[in-house]
Amino acid sequence: MSTSETKPLVCSTCGATPDDEGRARLTWSRGTESGRTVWTCERCSREHVRAIEGKLDPSWW
């Protein structure tokens, strides 16, 4: 298990934490920024889907 899998999940956009981390690993979006793993909650993923799919820098959205 890598260190990114042992850290608690926190949304990189809004700071939310999941009630059920096992479910969140299936429903949250996982990405890589500057060589580190980042997670985006379901709500933020839906809200920013076009920017995510367009690979816009997260600082833009």
The pLDDT tens digits of the residues spanning 1-21 come to: 454 456 789 999 999 999 999
User: In this predicted model, what pLDDT tens digit does every residue of 19-60 receive, in sequence order?
Assistant: 999 999 899 999 888 899 999 999 999 998 888 778 767 676
pLDDT computed for residue 1 by the predictor: 47
Token readout for 41 is: 């909650």
Contact predicate 8/17, CB 8 Å: yes
Looking at residue 49, its amino acid is V
**How many Cα atoms within 13 Å fall on the side-chain side of residue 29?**
17
**Chain-centroid distance, C-alpha 2:** 17
β-sheet bridge partners, residue 32:
37
**Cβ–Cβ under 8 Å, residues 11 and 20:** no
- pTM of the shown model: 0.72
